[in-house]
Structure 1
Amino acid sequence: MTPLDYEYLRKLLKERSGLDLSADKQYLVESRLVPLARKSGLAGIPDLVQKIRSGAEALTSEVVEAMTTNETFFFRDKIPFDHLRDTVLPVLLQARANRRALRIWSAASSTGQEPYSIAMCLKEKAQALAGWRIEIVATDLSQEVLEKSRAGIYSQFEVQRGLPIQLLVKHFTQLGEVWQLNADIRGMVQHRQLNLLQDFSHLGKFDVIFCRNVLIYFDQDTKASIFERISRVLEPDGMLMLGAAESVVGISDAFRPYPDRRGLYQPNLARANVSAGSHGLRVVAAR
């Protein structure tokens, strides 16, 4: 791959997905795109770039998907799901007692381990949530990973990463060498293709937003834009969950840290007020 090819791909990926590759990430591009080039009957990345330049839109989409598909696993980092069980749900169960409805968004949900981990957490609270309207919306840029998520089928290796054995036995059915999530858990999650760089106001308002381990790939301006738009779709008393290596500090004043809960944030109501002054467990079926 020539330096010109790499610069072209860097610019393409930044425009299409927000992925901000540094100058020393050429090895990463080669490791992900050489197999794609060969699968497409091309000799290598130079031929791949040439075909993309000629207007091969389907191939361009495959390149973006190959570069933005990131690692995930069940109950990743554990702490966010402890926060969900021990802090977020108790607070929102009280705050939403009259409405009896919760909407949760898993952004950049990849192959589904995060939204299904959320679903399993809520399933454990079935008694407290009896009669509530629950929506879990999972979005990702890649249609391929969304299809895998919808199927809810995982390898032995995938279910061994982070998933407690009791939840595997309770919520999965073994099909030969793979495991499939039971229909009740799969039915709790809606899947939609979405690019975080584009408008997402059509998703509506959410009580909880998980946006973890994706913002680290964006530059500061893109992060600030996404935080601002997330703040508009999060309820004023809603909660935002970020990844362990992510923070709003120094990037956006739209959120403030939740006291003593690492990675958990709430809308900055002080800023919002200033702006205003100046101007049985019921589940929504997956679509």
Structure 2
Amino acid sequence: MDLITETESENVDDSSLWLHNSKSLADILTEINQNVQQMLRMIEDSKPESTEKFLYLYQSLGETYNDLNQELLNGLLKLPCSLVTSMGALSTFKPDKSPDLESGGTSYSSLNHQVVSTTSSEKSQSLKLNDEVEKKDSAFLLADMFCAELETARRELEARNIAIETEKRHVVDLESKLSDSVYKIEKLESELDEVKECLGVSEAEVSKLMEMLSECKNEKSKLQTDNADDLLDSLRAELRSREIQIEQMEEYLNQVLCLNETEIKSESETDKNIVEELRAKVEVLEKQVELQRNVITEREEEKREAIRQLCFSLDHYMN
């Protein structure tokens, strides 16, 4: 009976190994499950500020798992010791020391009762040990599952962190490209303002050139009307004066011819010279008139050429 009582007390001591910080195994496993679920939710949310909390939960779960694993190992090592003690007590019975059946029937019956009682106690203890081993195996499996889930969560968190870093680098690249685009846009706007300013200056210059062209046309028209007419009138007047002089000279010559022959003969040479001189003067005057006409024509042609060049310059500048 003392052996059975001692074994039962050892079983009670072994069952206390399931406690961890004054909590039952079920409570500890429930708490681990809640922490794992919370960590999975934090991974799904992908919030950068929850990283420290996730690492704290991960470290806490690791410590809890290590403590629980150590206690389970201690429990498994201690339970077989009680079994060894019971089996040692049972092995104290030896066949060579059993009393004679014929001389000690009462002692044999007592010994048989003790053996049967010890055997049933060992069977009960074996069943309890099997239950405890199954519980601890289940706890180990559950702990391994939680450990695998934690490892998966850790890997997912690392993958999320890598993805976040990649996104951050992508955002930095986009910000750099955006900054370059803004700089290019500002540069283009500045160039556009300069082009608009140049265009305004060009329009002013074109307007000024158009005014100059109009003035040139007016001047040309005026030259064609006033100056040319005045010059032609003066030339015509001069030509008319020359013709009058020629007529007067011819009348004079006719009068001279009417003189007597002697006077004519005496003065014939002189008159011929005068006539030749007058004819030479007439030819010179005619050449001067023709030369002036040519000069007028050349000036008009030069003005036309200057106007054509000005129009060509305006068209080229506007294009």
Q: With structure 1 as the length reference, what TM-score do the two structures score?
A: 0.19
More strand by share: 1
Structure of larger gyration radius: 2
